[in-house]
Amino acid sequence: MDLLWLWILIGVVVLLALIVGIFYWATYNGLVTLKVRVDEAWSDITVQLKRRADLLPNLIESVKGYAAHERSVFEAVTNARAATIQPGISPHQAAEAEGILQGALKNLFAVAEAYPQLQASQNFLQLQAELVDTEDKIQASRRFYNGGVRELNTKIKVFPNNLIARRLGFSEAEFFEVADAAAIAEPPRVQF
């Protein structure tokens, strides 16, 4: 009889160890999947930020041809552009740079409104259309990234995952939130 109870006890311990092992395995794999999704989404954002940054010098040159005396506006856009594409930029730093860039772009387009010949330029109109398209893609990428961050952070915080997630090396990710949400609520108005 004692030998039977010993085998039952060993079976229960093995079963519990197996359940705990499966739980750790499933939790770890789920967290890795979400972390990779967040990293991929951040990469998508940086690609779109780079695409926009590549468009801005051409846009500045188009405006500069008509309004060369607006040097401070051009410098503000150039500096803000550089801040958005720094290597290794965090979501918080990118959000701050986004707010500054949006303000600088609004000033640039305000300058452009004063020049009817510029507004009729096909090159300028094409650059505007590409910029609007890129801004739309940035917003979509931002929503996808923030959705992934929400899922990852939720999985890290819920019980019983919260007991082991940090021990497995996972921490919450930062949302990509701009301080001045109104500044990016919609793409810069570029229709004239």
How many other CB atoms are found less than 10 A from the CB of residue 58?
15
**Helix H or strand E segment including 43:** helix 2-64
| pTM, full prediction | 0.75
DSSP state of 108: H
Q: What residue ranges in the chain does DSSP mark as E strands?
A: none
Residue-wise pLDDT for 96-143, tens only, equals 888 888 888 888 888 888 777 777 778 888 888 888 898 899 999 999
Please name each of the domains of the chain with its CATH number.
27-184 (1.20.1440.20)
Residue-wise pLDDT for 74-92, tens only, equals 888 888 888 888 888 888 8
- Between CA 110 and CA 73 the distance in angstroms is 10
- Residue pair 31/165 in contact (Cβ under 8 Å)? The answer is yes
Q: Distance between alpha carbon 120 and the CA centroid of its chain, in Å?
A: 34
- Residue pair 159/111 in contact (Cβ under 8 Å)? The answer is no
**What pLDDT is recorded for position 179?**
65
How distant, in Å, are the alpha carbons of 10, 27, 166, 171, 178 from that of 162? 29, 10, 7, 10, 28
Helix (H, G, I), strand (E, B) or coil at 178: coil
